[in-house]
Amino acid sequence: MVALPLCWWSVAQQPSAPSSEKDQALPDTVAHAAQASDTPKDSQATVQSPVLKTQATSPNPEDNDVVAHFEALNRYQQGTQAVGSDDYDLLNPGARYERRRAVSRNPLDADAEWSVFFSADRFFITDDDASTINLRLWQGANPAPITVESAVAVMQDDLGHNLTVPLGVLYSGDEALIRLRPSDYWPELAGPLKVELSYSSFGLGTETGRLDFHYTGPERIPAEFIDVLADDAVAGNLEFDIALDVRRSGRYRVSALLHNEQGKPFGRAQTDVWLEPSQQTVKLAFDGLLFHDQNAEGAFYLTTLRGERVDPLSWSGSDQMPVIEGQYQTRRYVASEFSNQMAANPHRERMKERYKAAIARGVKFEIPNN
C-alpha cells in the first residue's frame, strides 16, 4: 500500500525536484506522491514509497476517495494552506515537545525512579537574542536537588571546525538555569548549535543531556522586516505588502498566519522570492477560496510573520530573519471580494490522471488516518 502525503507543503523535509511534463505515469514499482503546485522544490514535500504490486481488480469505491483526497490536499493556489487548532507546528514554529521523562527506561534499573525535564524557551535564536534552558530532577514524585557538572555550547565555523565554549549555570531552588546568548561568542556565525551537559544528584550517578538549536548571528542576519504596509483584495485573493530591509542577496522565504475576528487561525501563506540588497516589498497572498471554505469575513489578523534566506547548498541551512512581533489588522472584507473557484492548475489535473491510471493497473494507495 502507498500512503498519500499528508500535505503538499512541508518545511521539515527536503524533497526531490518537482514533476515535469515529461514525467511518465505512476509506475508499478514506485508511486510518486507528487504535488500539484509549481512551488520551488525545497518548499514541497515529495514522497516516494514502495508499492505492493497487485492484480488489477474491479473498480473500488475507495479509489475515488484517493483521487478526491489528493485534490483536497492541492485545493489552494501555490503557497496557501488551511490550518486549524491541531496544526501545532504551524501555529508554534520552532516549538519543541520535551517533557518530563524517566532517566532510565529499564524498570529493573535503580535509576528508574528518577525523572528529568530538560528544555528551553526558544530553539531558533537570532541576532542578540538569548534562550533560557531549564533542567529539573525528580526522585519519584519529589523534586530533587541537581548539580550540573559541565555545560558547553558547540558550533561549527564556516570551515567545519568545532567551536566549544563553557556555559555558566544558575540555581533557583531545585532548578538549574542556563542563559544561552550565542552572539557573545559567535556573532559572525549561523547554523546548528547544540548544548551538551552532564548532571548528577545525591543517589544518582552522572547523566548527560543535549538540546539542538539553530542560530543566526547579528553579522549574518540576511534581512529584517520593516512593517506590513497594506492589504487588499487582488484578483480574488487577499494580498499583503510586506516591507523588508534586505542586506544579502538571495532567495527568501516569507510566511505568516491569518486569524479571523475571533482570533482563530485558519490559513497560512508562504512565498519564495529572490531579493537584492535594498528596501524591498514582498507580496504575500492567501487564496480567495480559503475564505469561502472557512466562512471567513470581516477584519483579519496577520501574525507569526517569519522569514529566512534559503541556501540549499549550505551545510548550516537557512539564515533566519528576526521574527516580527505583534499582529497586523486588515480592513473589513466580505466574501464576494474573494474568488470562490478553485484556480486552474494543469499539473494537478495531470497528477489526478496518473493516479487514476495507476489505480487501473492495480496499484493500491492508502489514505492516512491523520
pLDDT per residue over 17-40, tens digit each? 333 333 333 333 333 333 333 333
Nearest 5°: the CA angle 331, 337, 342 is: 125
Domains 81-93+221-337 and 105-218 share a fold: yes
pTM of the model: 0.72
Residue 2 has pLDDT above 90, yes or no: no
For the ranges 95-99, 127-131, 213-217, 288-292, which has the lowest average pLDDT? 95-99
Instruction: Out of 2.60.40.10, 3.40.190.290, 2.40.50.100, 3.40.50.1240, select the CATH number for domain 81-93+221-337.
Output: 2.60.40.10
275 forms beta bridges with 250
Radius of gyration of the chain (CA): 24
**CATH code, residues 105-218:** 2.60.40.1930
CB-based contact 242:284 (threshold 8 Å): yes
Domain boundaries, the chain: 2-39+50-66+345-366, 81-93+221-337, 105-218
Q: What is the pLDDT of residue 74?
A: 80
Task: Give the burial string for 5-38 (b: 16+ CB within 10 Å, else e).
Answer: beebbbbeeebeebbeeeeeebeeeebbbbbbbe
Mean pLDDT of 237-250: 96
Task: Give the burial string for 40-59 (b: 16+ CB within 10 Å, else e).
Answer: bebbbbbbebebeeeeeeee
| Whole-angstrom distance, CA of residue 144 vs CA of residue 146 | 6
Nearest 5°: the CA angle 127, 130, 132 is: 160
